[in-house]
């Protein structure tokens, strides 16, 4: 847990944002880890709010597109998913360089 605390404390906003943007992982575990670490609450709230937007749009558009067979909504949702994964990966790579 000390390694995670150090990783989150070094750059909490970008670390949390990159973890939120990646579609893999467990939000409950990330919330618990951030809660017991030294992450400032403002960084946690802002990164979480910003990171949840793409996922919410993706799932809402996919659900609506599949339910009524609108291929355009599914295509936009897939594009958002790819963009979210790429942005999350870039942020993680940036974090590792620091």
Which DSSP string corresponds to 48-88?
HHHHHHHHHHHHHHHHHHHHTT-HHHHHHHHHHHHHHHHHH
How many Cα atoms are found within 13 Å in the side-chain-facing hemisphere of 80?
Answer: 18
* C-alpha–C-alpha distance, residues 91 and 69, integer Å: 34
Q: Specify the pTM.
A: 0.64
What residues make up the domain containing 18? Answer: 2-97
pLDDT tens-digit map of 37-94:
888 889 999 988 888 887 787 777 767 665 555 677 777 778 878 887 888 788 778 7
- Our count of domains for the chain comes to 1
């Amino acid at each position: 847990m000390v390694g995670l605390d150090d990783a989150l404390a070094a750059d909490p906003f970008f670390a949390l944002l990159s973890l939120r943007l990646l579609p893999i992982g467990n939000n409950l575990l990330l919330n618990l880890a951030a809660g017991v670490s030294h992450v400032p609450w403002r960084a946690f709230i802002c990164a979480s709010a910003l990171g949840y937007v793409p996922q919410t749009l993706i799932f809402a558009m996919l659900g609506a597109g599949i339910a009524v067979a609108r291929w355009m909504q599914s295509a936009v949702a897939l594009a958002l998913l790819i963009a979210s994964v790429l942005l999350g990966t870039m942020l993680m790579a940036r974090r590792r360089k620091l």
